[in-house]
Structure 1
Amino acid sequence: MRIGELAERTGVSTRSIRYYEQNGLLSSRRGPNGYREYTEEDVRLVSEIRALLSVGFTLADTRPFVDCLRRGHSTGGSCAESVEVYERKLTEIDEEIRILLARRAEVAAQLAQSCPGCFVRG
């Protein structure tokens, strides 16, 4: 399939597909006419990349997942390297939550001080 069909099937732009290729996450073959050609495996890879990016992973974070799929695993998250990325990301999210909760407590305290009768949702 050509790049436009891959883009349509995966819901990403052709520009994104080229970007994934530039970063070594995809590799197209060239047809006799010089056009990029992709396979069903590329649909899987782009879908995996897209799903990970949509929940906050970076493009670099997706590499172990893509490599895992390329090695024939049924899911990109089933390899040890992918699990490490999941664990690191959860640690980062937990830290972000901790920071947000501390920030929320500070804002609530400022509101309570500025407006003693105001209700602070909790």
Structure 2
Amino acid sequence: MRIGELARRSGVSTRSLRHYEEKGLLAARRGANGYREYDEADVRLVQEIRALMAVGFTLEDARPFVACLRAGNESGGVCPESVDVVRRKLAEIDTEIRDLMARRDEMLRRNT
């Protein structure tokens, strides 16, 4: 499929797809006419990238998930490298929550 169809099927812009390609997360093959060509597996890769970004992961964080899917796994989150990224991200979120709660408590102390 060409880039426009992949964009429609995965719900992202062609600009985003080019960006993912530039970052090495998506690999387009080139047809004889020079057009980018993608296959069905690329739809799943792009959906995984978008889902990860929607919950706060960066494109760099998405790399192990993409690699896991490319390796033939049903989910991008089953590989050890992906699990490590999830654990790291959860630790970051826990730290943010603690920091926010401390700020909240301080505000309450100052205004009561």
Normalised by the size of structure 1, how large is the TM-score?
A: 0.89
Q: CA deviation at 1:92?
A: 0.3
User: 1:89 aligns to what?
Assistant: 89
Question: What does the per-residue CA deviation read over 1:38-80, in whole Å, with 9 as the maximum and x for residues that have no partner?
Answer: 1111001000000000000011000000000000011000000
Relative contact order, higher structure (CA 8 A, sep 6+): 2
Partner residue, 2:16? 16
Structure 1 residue 32: deviation in Å? 1.7
In structure 1, stretches of 5+ residues that fail to align are: 113-122
Identity of aligned residues (%): 67
Runs of 4+ deviating beyond 4 Å: none
Alpha-carbon distance between aligned partners in 1 of 2:87 and 2:18, rounded to the nearest angstrom: 29
- Structure 2, unmatched stretches of 5+, are none
- TM-score, normalised relative to structure 2: 0.97
Q: CA deviation at 1:4?
A: 1.0
**CA separation in 2, counterparts of 1:110 and 1:39?**
58
**C-alpha distance in 2, partners of 1:111/1:4?**
55
